[in-house]
Structure 1
Amino acid sequence: MHTRKLEQHIIILLLMFTINPIFGQKKEVRNTEVDTLTFLNNRKILNSLNTDKFQKKIFVDNDIQIPYRFLMPKNNLVKKKYPLVITFHNSSRIGNDNENQLEPFAKIWLRDEIYEKYPCYVVAPQFSKRSTTYEMNSDGVQISKPSNDVFALLKLITNLEKEYPNIDTNRIYLIGYSMGGSTAQNLMSLQPNTFAAMVSVAAVPDLSNLNAIKEKNIWLIHGKKDDDNPYVGSVELFNKLPSDKKMIFTTFTNLNHNNIVIPFLITDEIPKWLFEKRK
């Protein structure tokens, strides 16, 4: 009798360790729906923001030129340390006008409540060609690989750290949507010790350096109805990092590739999550 009870207690404890997010990844499902009015209203709010605070700059590395926009913290104090946030655009923003890359995840940092509460440096690079390319691996999973411009971007980060010594090198964050989400993953995989956290939305995964990112702060966000970048790619990455207790995978059951960013545009959910993370 006592032996049976002991066995039951052991099974319960094992189940607790298996399903408790304290001991492993966290997976959440949201049933959020986005109607046309919400979609248009949220975009209107962001599009009305004045982007002049984002300085226009160009980084040159041999034959590679990367236009980028640069936002300084409000009331930038030399003796205070600030995070560096790097935002990556999707493929529809490819170009060299140094304007079009300011998509929603770049513009959220201009909202008054975010600019006040989450002071940071923000870099929004623009790529003149695809920053990441997709291919099928041997398991039939679509994966992403970085372009040469992504390697050049690592040099830009180093330059910024030297030019602005009050950048907190323990709090460099990556955020991207679609192709940009894949680019964020590429950078995290290439140089994981540089970055404190990453938010990757509707991306094609980078599976090239799993061992190096298995303890990183990673937030994957994907819509189950995504017909552009398959939802299964994020599932694959999540499943390959079972021991990463700092990883979150958020599934939106009703959202697709085009409306997946909408729930985050007029909230501080992403800045709040990022600012809690350090290397």
Structure 2
Amino acid sequence: MATGITTAYAAESSSTCDLKCQMTELPAKAETRTTVTTGQQTLTPEQQAAKQVAESPRYRAFVPSTYNGSVSFPLVVVLHPSGADENAPFMARQLAELAEKKGYIVVAPLGYDSTAGYGSTYPIVQTFAAKDGMSGITIPNPQSNYLSEVAVMSTLAKVKREMNIDASRVYLMGYGMGSIGAQHLAAKYPGEWAAIAPASGAVTAASYPFSALAANHVAALYIQGEKDRYTPANAVEDLYNQARRAGVDARLIKVPNADNTNAWVGALPQTFDFFSNHRKY
């Protein structure tokens, strides 16, 4: 199952979904008029869609050459920005190079599609430049947003089933829309992650349940490019400061000469170091 540094391993899709990913709740306004009975289950169209996404999540992964299945490896889940797909994170060669060097498996889920928001409904802090341009972060329709969350968590469950993953060393990061998704999934599933690293994307600090991270010992590394025109620096600083006040083991990195597209790349060495210093306990 090992690969070289410049390639990525794409596991075959599983035909089953574990109980956890099937039990993710539906959106509050889910359509329920049309149902289909499968065995003893009666499924709405939304449940049918969720089941299909959960059973065949689309993702790309990198497996270091030292992996042979006999020893558990740490896992990093990377969420792509709006308009991209599961291949986008691997366009940064440093990601696979560091994963190879430090012995990490890296997984990049598609989510439901290129613009679905990984389930987040937190208010987003952006400048006017983001609203006027093409690089801003927007929340998609509720159903696509929900299915994107299902896809990410199903990918995680699938990789855990099929590979020898160290459950105490599972990490989550993302940039742009992926940053918003990482913050949402960290708060909703805090038992899954040892640490997160959201970059170039901020939710409003007042709306975020930092207590969920603190109570479950989820560390947080906030990353901001000094030339980011879309995410205000003070919004990221607010997240960092409130996380610290809530008892989260948090750190803030400001990347010189980096914008919203490449700050996460510039911070990758520090990100892997941060992950290496944190285990779930």
- Structural mapping, 1:1-279, within 5 Å: 51-55=6-10, 57-58=12-13, 61-64=50-53, 66-94=57-85, 99-100=87-88, 102-104=90-92, 107-111=93-97, 114-127=98-111, 128-132=113-117, 137=123, 147-148=145-146, 149-164=148-163, 166-205=164-203, 207-214=207-214, 215-241=217-243, 242-244=245-247, 246-252=249-255, 255-264=258-267, 268-279=269-280
| Mapped contact 1:144–1:182 kept (Cα < 8 A) | no
Q: TM-score, normalised by structure 1?
A: 0.66
Contact 1:222 / 1:234 at 8 angstroms: preserved in 2?
yes
Q: CA offsets per residue over residues 215-236 of structure 1, 9 Å max, x none?
A: 4210001134422223233123
For 1:181 and 1:82, locate their aligned partners in 2 and report how far apart those are by CA, in whole Å.
24
AA at the equivalent of 1:122: V
Contact 2:74-2:166 at 8 Å conserved across structures: yes
How many residues in Structure 1 have an aligned counterpart in Structure 2?
219
The aligned residue for residue 24 of structure 1 is none
Q: Is the 8 A contact 2:255 2:267 kept in 1?
A: no
Where does structure 2 lack aligned partners over 5 or more consecutive residues? 16-49, 127-136
Q: Which has the higher strand share?
A: 1
1:2-47 C-alpha deviation (Å, 9 max, x unpaired): xxxxxxxxxxxxxxxxxxxxxxxxxxxxxxxxxxxxxxxxxxxxxx
Question: What amino acid sits opposite 2:202 in the alignment?
Answer: V
| Contact 2:13/2:57 (<8 A) preserved | yes
Distance, in Å, in 1 between the alignment partners of 2:265 and 2:99 is 19
Specify whether residues 100 and 168 from structure 1 end up closer, same or farther in structure 2 by C-alpha distance, changes over 3 A only.
Answer: same
Cα distance in structure 2, aligned partners of 1:81 and 1:126: 24
In 2, Cα distance between the equivalents of 1:172 and 1:79? 18
Measure the CA separation in 1 of the matches of 2:198 and 2:122: 20
CA gap 1:58/1:101 in 2 versus in 1, 3 angstroms: farther
Once the two structures are superposed, residues 79-116 of structure 1 have per-residue CA deviations (whole angstroms, 9 ceiling, x without a partner) of 3111011111111314xxx5445342xx42422xx344
Partner letter of residue 96 of structure 2? L
- Could you report, residue by residue, the CA deviation over 1:227-261 in whole angstroms, capped at 9, with x for unpaired residues? 22232331232232214351001234654324423
Q: Displacement, 1:59?
A: 6.7
Secondary structure of 1:156's counterpart equals helix
Deviation at 1:203, TM superposition (A): 1.2
Q: Contact 1:69–1:125 (CA<8 Å) still a contact in 2? A: yes
Please, what is the CA RMSD of the aligned residues? 3.2
1:221 aligns to what SS in structure 2? Answer: strand
Q: Tell me which of the two structures has the higher relative contact order, counting C-alpha pairs closer than 8 angstroms and 6 or more residues apart.
A: 1
Question: Percent identity among equivalent residues?
Answer: 23
